[in-house]
Amino acid sequence: MPSLRLILVSLAASALPSVLAGSTSSTYPDELTVNTNTGTYTGIRNENYAGVREFRNIPFAQPPVGNLRWQPPVALPRSNAHHFSTRFPPSCPQFVSKSKSLWNQFLPSLMINNGEGGNQTHQVAQTSSEDCLSLAVWTPYGVKQNAKLPVLFFITGGGFQSGGIEIPSQLPAQWVDRTQSHIVVTINYRVNIFGFPNAAALKHPNLGILDQRMALEWVAANIRSFGGDPKAITLWGQSAGAESVDYLLFSHWDDPIAHAAFIQSGTALVPLKSADYEHANFTYVAKHVGCDFPTDASAELSCMQQVPHPQLVNFINTHVSTKKIIFGPIADEKICFANYTQRAAQGRMARIPAIISNCAKETASLNGWPDDPTVGPDPEKILSGTLTTWVCTTAATCKLRESLKAPTYRYQFAGNFSNLSPLPWMGAFHAADLFMNFGTYELPKDATEHEAAVSRAMQDHVLAFARDPLYGAKRIGWAPYHYGSNVIRFGGSDGRVAQNVSGYEIDGPCYGNGTYDLSP
């Protein structure tokens, strides 16, 4: 007589839908199942946009745990194993601050989904894990394997401290559903101490950038199976993601893989925040978590590889009051460089066409929570930060690109929509244009038709470029940028969806010409 456990297991198996039966990929729906070099994946049809299929969790590297913690990503072996790709992967380990910010007070859709943990826990994100090196793919539903659609490969921002795939404002289903003619890939990569440890025993301090490159290599090798064209990948990032894109154009200048780039609010010329060339930050943390080996870097690293990741994240962010610790990219002269002007002069930059963009009022959202939220930060501080860190580094990057005859297209986002910028001083803040690019402007309620029109225009310009980086933008009236020439402004204060403006108006103040307008 069979055991009770066997009976229960048999009943449970008979209750499963037929899609789960069997052991080969042929038993899964063809339109939702894709074979790759590293496995077979069955995704889902988006519940709100029926014209979109999603593969939410596809690993692109081995889990960076145990002895692989703080090592360059390791490629996955070839495999025929079947996996369901219906849930987003955990974000890489990161901290959720309790401090007030514009994000957690007004725009939580710009933050990772932290489940029931909320967005002000003051502890490691409960939805994070070291086993996080995965990507997600959005394609039109029913797209054929040989469709050769252009691919936008997106790297999220977060100051190299946070970020991930499951950020509501950065899910591209609306855009893919609207066009039915392109694919979007977004990725996780290691951040903070896990992505940029800069430990004395390590040869590679910029592991997060290496993660990005391995994900790009995986996409180039496998995107054809999803209907994408491996020769039509646009490498796209925002903020820290944009800086990462530019880093990759310099570090892999002779093999960028991508045929174009979209560098959104950030370039390689934004100053590196970490100057810890003595490895002091890693050693300081090690000393305080029981790994004090001041004369033995290898022992320090081996010990630190055994410390639970929540202990490390929480210590750095909650128990350090006298020493400010930053783990971010550092010039190692292999992945990140101390002198990008010199690199460009040597011709060591990928000369693929690029879009480079800014928001009109970048630092409105980057100055911390103001003493009086109704008044906001000092306008002069916003102006200085917007120019120095963002607009003028963009202008300088464009000059470097022009010196190498690399085609560059510029836009400025100036939209001031009340559902995205509920406080009157916010304006077109850093990251505001992400809602437009991804078509998620309705997440904060009460979007207007004008807002939707701006989003469509921005999406159409980017996609025209992604399809044909050399001529696609020109065909819709977007001329390549030279100092003083054409910049497209989206959503300006005059109520127009898009207009051509002089580059002097935006970049001139960087060279002592004119006054910059934070609300054009």
pLDDT along the chain (520 residues), means of 10: 35 33 59 97 98 98 98 98 98 95 93 92 95 98 95 98 97 98 98 97 97 98 98 98 98 98 98 91 96 97 98 89 82 96 96 98 93 92 97 97 96 96 95 98 94 98 98 95 92 95 95 95
Closest CA to 400 of 465, 336, 468, 483: 483
Integer Cα distance of 266 and 260 in angstroms: 16
- pLDDT confidence of residue 404: 95
What per-residue confidence (pLDDT) applies to 218?
98
Residue 367: what pLDDT? 87
- The CATH number of the domain covering residues in 1-92+129-273+330-352: 3.40.50.1820
Enumerate the β-bridge partners of residue 354. 261, 408
Q: Whose structure tokens read 């849930």?
A: 87
d(CA 83, CA 61): 15
18 is written with which tokens? 């037929």
pLDDT number for residue 323: 67
Cα distance between residue 195 and residue 191, in whole Å: 4
Tokens, residue 29: 């729906």
pLDDT reported for residue 320: 64
Q: Where are the domains of the chain?
A: 1-92+129-273+330-352, 355-520
What are the residue numbers of the active site?
Answer: 239, 362, 430
Sign of CA dihedral 94, 96, 100, 106: positive
Instruction: Look at residue 1 in the predicted model and tell me its pLDDT.
Output: 39
pLDDT of residue 9: 32
Beta carbons of 262 and 152 less than 8 angstroms apart: yes
What is the CA angle 416-422-425, rounded to 5? 65
